[in-house]
Amino acid sequence: MRTGKPWRPNPGYRHLLVLPICLLLVAPLSVPAQTTGTVEGTVVDQSNAALPGVNVELAGRSLQGTRTAATSASGTFRFPSVPPGAYTITASLPGLGKVQKTATVSLDATATVLLQLALTASAEVTVSGQAPLIDSTSTTTGSSYSAKIIDKLPVGRNYADIVFSQPGAQADFGKTEARSLAISLYGSTSAENLFLIDGIDTTNVMKGVQGKDINNEFVEDVEVKTGGYQAEYGRNTGGVINVITKSGGNEFHGGAFAYYNDTGMRAEPDNGMAANYDTPQYSQTGDSQFYNYIYSKDVRQEWGLDLGGFLWKDRVWFFGAYDRVNNTTNTEIPAGALAGQIADVDTTKNLGALKLTYRMTDNQSLIASFFQDPTTDTGAINDVNHPVNGEPLTYLGRQERGGRNYALRYEGIIGRDWLVSGQVARHDEKNSINPRTAAGDVPEFIDHTAALFQTGGFGLIQDKDLTRDFAGASLTRFLNHHEIKFGAEYEKQTADVVKRMSGGQQVEIFGNSVNPGMPIYRHFYWTTPTATLSDSGGPALSALDVSVEHKNTTLYLQDRWSILPNLSVNGGIRWDRQEIVGADGRVHMDLKNDYAPRVGVIWDPTNEHRQKLFASYGRFYEQLPMDLVIRSYAFERQPRIVNYDPVSTVPDAAAESDFGTSSAILGGATEPTDPDIKGQFVREFIVGWEREVRPNMTLGVKGVQRDYGRVIEDFLCDAVNGIYCIGNPGRGIMTNLFALDYVTQFPAPRARRKFTGVQIDLTKRFSHRWQGLASYLWSKLDGNYDGEVAPYTNVGADPNISAAYDYYDFFTDGMNLGRITNTGPLSNDRRHQFKLSGVYIAPFRLQIGVSTFYRTGTPVNRLGYSDAYGRYEFFLDKRGTQGRTPDTYEMDVHLSYPLQTGKWTINFLMDVFNLFNTQRAVLLDQRWGFAESDNMLATPANPEFGKALLRTPPTSVRFGTRISF
């Protein structure tokens, strides 16, 4: 067992210290994410001979001042650290006149320009078109979306909504906070992505999902990396969503905006169900795991303003914005004595952003960023722990979410060959939920004999304050045909968590088939680290009140080597270390061997930067979210006390006998961890071809394969004392798993999740009034482990401590342990996906944006109930044997018309979502029955089996206006 002593240097780690010291002599320090791009190119004469000493100038609205460079002996030039935007590149040489090209620079991308000068007696400028679309230096797959395009597409007000336009992106059923989206990319789950805004890691600290909400008016550029990225990106096994907010400029720009939509602007939902992920309800069968979604009425009002400009031209720019969102949701109570009554919740968001850009010298900048998303819900909280299914005190509460982000970033170009950048940042999150008044702080009662009708108090009360502090730097050296980059990062995550039950406990009421006159009460609460079932008065009522932390260290080295003008190799190695510190101050897990190699090859057959063949391999390690340290290393102990008394917490043997379940205390002081535990990672292989088939249009074909190499999970390791441990399935202390008989052991299956896909995409850059992206993806996702989210259970994410490996039985039907059934197509498997999005600006100024998709359904299973767990953990047949959910298709449309009045523009906006009102089922009821005895029935005991639990949203309309100058 690990001692948990603090780490101290030892000889085995000296090589890790020597490496960065040596590298600092030849290469500079990198921040966690690129916030800029690069322009590079070559200047030639009429015979295509390189021209040295040519003066090249870069200018654009996103750049403070202009930048100049002289071509090298080989005629090449480079402008690194260029903010995203549109630029003009001008080359001039006495006697050869001038030539100009335009280029659009995207986040972390290279725009390559070929400029040809010719003998001329005039110094007139010749404009010769745009730079090629293809980045012939990169193996990264994904897309970049500028603010000008996002504004014209029918997307939600959350910046991450644009990600669903990306091939390979879909929503899963991961439990996220109301302000964030559940984004699955190339078979990964929504708890496996990395979210970066202005270089700040804004990923949710607790669960690993999207952790920040900013609106589209704040955004300058969104880059979605789906794979093939270099070593500077890590801590994720999914994709990277990289965002840059707007900056100011040498002219003042600003305006105001407002949006409005309500239930009256939405079609009637099919069968009374709406695709509102934020209004879950318990089902009527006594199961909180598969909750139905009910129709709610809401009114959403949003308004804001923004202003950007300069405090000192070409020297100090600013951008500031504020967005206020008010939303009222009315929900009809579905059952019980209050059925038909309306409960409402008022939601208020105060979104804001501020950025200052200071050009210290011609080649050095300092950027300060701030943005926030505090959100408050007051009224009917209506989540899985507080459903609107009872007396008002059980659901009336106040929830506070969101937080603030701060960053200070330095970027400097030293001479011709050095690029230095560094950043310090803080990400704050809060998630607290409390009764609206003190009257709700009394025990809550859930009656299983009356459709889970709730009485008494509010139930779960919690207060979570989570922080991520970051410091990182990078140094890039341009050396002959090499671009060498070294980076070092350190971050500290902290979580201060308080959890308790209102009035100290939550009490469930069950009927008693043995003694019908004596109902059974099961008491749930938190207790002290030393409490036992034999304590006088029962285990003490208490609360979980802990402080825990993570310490994460990263070093990486990467090189982009141009072997030939048309052949490049990108290589790199990344090392991550994660130390997980429990509430006792000890290091309980030290993942110090996470080495992630990356390599890619890019060949341009024509050497014109209009075509490339590429291949890449990479290993990507997960950064464990803090849910594990809070749940496993923080003395979380939860009694389940069974008796005949609604108040007492003393176990009663007679009640336990009637109920068929003993009282127990779940959890322990801290869970033992395999002393040789290794990090969780995904392997990725990509091959692809891209070609500019005509000006401003590219065609691409890509093959992608991603699979798990290793995972981290918890499991029952001591059946006698009910102790769980954490390890790597199939190795070390987790070589075997106990069955539910707590005696028999079986070999632990290795976790398998394999994604194989072939993607064809056609991209049209904005020109001739239109822009578009069309894609088709064939893919297969199979295995026995969904990942950080188990969508089939609809309970959200418990990263690395799910129930998947708790008992061997969960890989079977629970009856025949000799037959593995938990294998086959995984929950996010879709064989075919077609997507199309685009923008067209009509000659009469009407702007039209369209986003549409068609995709096949996901697998349907026959799930069996576990009496011991009170959940659906058994696969009664192999995965996917019950067919698939229906194919789904949608079309969304955006219309806007700008009216010019002097310097002001008034833009009238309308978005129509799900234009054809195709309310297709996306989640079916997969429960075979409601008790373990139902699992062996030939026909389902659940009359709702196979019926829709959730559908795509009905048609809805949103109106808006923007006034800008």
Per-residue confidence (pLDDT) for residue 864, from 0 to 100: 94
Per-residue confidence (pLDDT) for residue 466, from 0 to 100: 97
Which candidate, 495, 581, 589, places its Cα nearest to that of 544?
Answer: 495
> Residue 791's pLDDT band (boundaries 50, 70, 90)?
low
Per-residue confidence (pLDDT) for residue 356, from 0 to 100: 97
Burial of 537 (0-12, 13-18, 19+ CB in 10 A): exposed
Give the three-state DSSP class for 732. Answer: helix
Rounded mean pLDDT, 925-953: 91
Rounded mean pLDDT, 851-879: 92
User: Do 524 and 460 form a contact (C-beta atoms < 8 A)?
Assistant: no
Rounded mean pLDDT, 326-344: 79
- 628 has pLDDT over 80: yes
Mean pLDDT of the chain: 89
> What tens digit of pLDDT does each residue of 896-922 get?
999 999 899 999 999 999 999 999 998
Which candidate, 758, 878, 738, 760, places its Cα nearest to that of 812?
Answer: 878
> What tens digit of pLDDT does each residue of 634-687 get?
988 899 999 999 999 999 999 999 998 899 888 777 889 999 999 999 999 999
> What tens digit of pLDDT does each residue of 171-186 get?
988 777 766 888 999 9
Cα dist from 2 to 113, 171, 677, 733, whole Å: 56, 39, 10, 12
Q: And the tokens for 667?
A: 């959890």
Looking at residue 157, the DSSP 8-state letter turns out to be S
DSSP 608-677: SSSEEEEEEEEEEEPPPPTHHHHHHSS--EEEEEEES-SS-----HHHHHHHT---EEEE-S---B-TT-
User: Do 84 and 107 form a contact (C-beta atoms < 8 A)?
Assistant: yes
- 13 has pLDDT over 50: no
Which candidate, 471, 384, 390, 469, places its Cα nearest to that of 423?
Answer: 471
Rounded mean pLDDT, 606-622: 95
DSSP bridge partners of 641: 523
H or E segment and range at residue 20: helix 14-24
What's the rounded Cα separation, in Å, for the pair 292 and 269? 14
> Residue 6's pLDDT band (boundaries 50, 70, 90)?
very low
CA 303 to chain centroid: 26
- Number of other CB atoms surrounding residue 6 within 10 Å: 10
- 410 has pLDDT over 50: yes
What's the rounded Cα separation, in Å, for the pair 149 and 142? 16
What's the rounded Cα separation, in Å, for the pair 194 and 183? 11
What's the rounded Cα separation, in Å, for the pair 556 and 564? 25
> Residue 496's pLDDT band (boundaries 50, 70, 90)?
very high
Looking at residue 780, the DSSP 8-state letter turns out to be E
CA 380 to chain centroid: 27
Per-residue confidence (pLDDT) for residue 953, from 0 to 100: 86
User: Do 748 and 727 form a contact (C-beta atoms < 8 A)?
Assistant: no
> What tens digit of pLDDT does each residue of 745-767 get?
999 999 999 999 999 999 999 99
User: Do 646 and 445 form a contact (C-beta atoms < 8 A)?
Assistant: yes
Per-residue confidence (pLDDT) for residue 667, from 0 to 100: 75
Burial of 818 (0-12, 13-18, 19+ CB in 10 A): exposed
Q: And the tokens for 165?
A: 């336009």
> Residue 792's pLDDT band (boundaries 50, 70, 90)?
low
What's the rounded Cα separation, in Å, for the pair 291 and 276? 12
Which candidate, 522, 527, 541, places its Cα nearest to that of 655?
Answer: 522
Which candidate, 543, 552, 550, 542, places its Cα nearest to that of 495?
Answer: 550
For 322-349, give one letter per residue: b (16+ CB within 10 A) or e: bbebebebebbbbbbebeeeebbbebeb
> Residue 779's pLDDT band (boundaries 50, 70, 90)?
very high
> What tens digit of pLDDT does each residue of 355-367 get?
999 999 989 999 9
Listed range (176-190, 204-218, 576-590) with the worst mean pLDDT: 176-190
Q: And the tokens for 802?
A: 């799910």
CA 829 to chain centroid: 18
> Residue 22's pLDDT band (boundaries 50, 70, 90)?
very low
Listed range (27-31, 80-84, 660-664) with the worst mean pLDDT: 27-31
User: Do 808 and 738 form a contact (C-beta atoms < 8 A)?
Assistant: yes
Dihedral over alpha carbons 525, 528, 534, 535 (to 10 degrees): -110
Q: Tokens 């011991």 sit at which residue?
A: 868
Q: Tokens 């725009």 sit at which residue?
A: 111
> Residue 275's pLDDT band (boundaries 50, 70, 90)?
very low
- 613 has pLDDT over 70: yes
DSSP 702-720: EEEEEEEEE--EEEEEETT
Q: And the tokens for 395?
A: 């659901």
- 31 has pLDDT over 70: no
Rounded mean pLDDT, 102-127: 79
Backbone angles phi, psi at 336, to 5 degrees: 85, -170
Per-residue confidence (pLDDT) for residue 719, from 0 to 100: 85
Cα dist from 509 to 338, 339, 658, whole Å: 19, 20, 13
Which candidate, 694, 693, 729, places its Cα nearest to that of 712?
Answer: 729
Per-residue confidence (pLDDT) for residue 795, from 0 to 100: 53
DSSP 321-347: EEEEEEEEEEEE--SSTTTT-EEEEEE
What's the rounded Cα separation, in Å, for the pair 847 and 826? 40
Cα dist from 859 to 54, 826, 829, 904, whole Å: 61, 7, 7, 52
DSSP bridge partners of 321: 306, 353
> Residue 859's pLDDT band (boundaries 50, 70, 90)?
very high
Rounded mean pLDDT, 187-202: 95
Rounded mean pLDDT, 218-243: 95
In terms of phi and psi (left: phi > 0; alpha: psi -120 to 50; beta: otherwise), the region of 100 is beta
> What tens digit of pLDDT does each residue of 426-474 get?
999 999 999 999 999 999 999 988 878 899 999 999 999 999 999 999 9
Task: Outline where DSSP puts E strands in 267-341.
Answer: 280-281, 292-293, 296-312, 316-332
Listed range (282-286, 363-367, 659-663, 956-960) with the worst mean pLDDT: 282-286
- 581 has pLDDT over 90: yes
- Number of other CB atoms surrounding residue 131 within 10 Å: 21
Looking at residue 696, the DSSP 8-state letter turns out to be T
> Residue 284's pLDDT band (boundaries 50, 70, 90)?
very low
Q: And the tokens for 686?
A: 């990509």
What's the rounded Cα separation, in Å, for the pair 773 and 142? 12
Q: Tokens 């960053």 sit at which residue?
A: 407
Which candidate, 179, 260, 156, 286, places its Cα nearest to that of 930?
Answer: 286
Rounded mean pLDDT, 573-579: 97
Between residues 215 and 142, the one the model is more confident about: 142
Looking at residue 581, the DSSP 8-state letter turns out to be E
Looking at residue 537, the DSSP 8-state letter turns out to be T
User: Do 862 and 876 form a contact (C-beta atoms < 8 A)?
Assistant: yes
Per-residue confidence (pLDDT) for residue 124, from 0 to 100: 59
Dihedral over alpha carbons 521, 524, 529, 530 (to 10 degrees): 0
> What tens digit of pLDDT does each residue of 387-398 get?
888 899 999 999
Per-residue confidence (pLDDT) for residue 541, from 0 to 100: 96
DSSP bridge partners of 754: 707, 782
Dihedral sign of CA atoms 807, 808, 814, 817 in order: negative
What's the rounded Cα separation, in Å, for the pair 680 and 246? 36
Give the three-state DSSP class for 9. Answer: coil
Rounded mean pLDDT, 151-174: 91
Per-residue confidence (pLDDT) for residue 336, from 0 to 100: 64
Per-residue confidence (pLDDT) for residue 293, from 0 to 100: 40
What's the rounded Cα separation, in Å, for the pair 146 and 106? 8
Rounded mean pLDDT, 121-144: 77
Could you give the percent of the chain with pLDDT greater than 70? 91
> Residue 64's pLDDT band (boundaries 50, 70, 90)?
very high
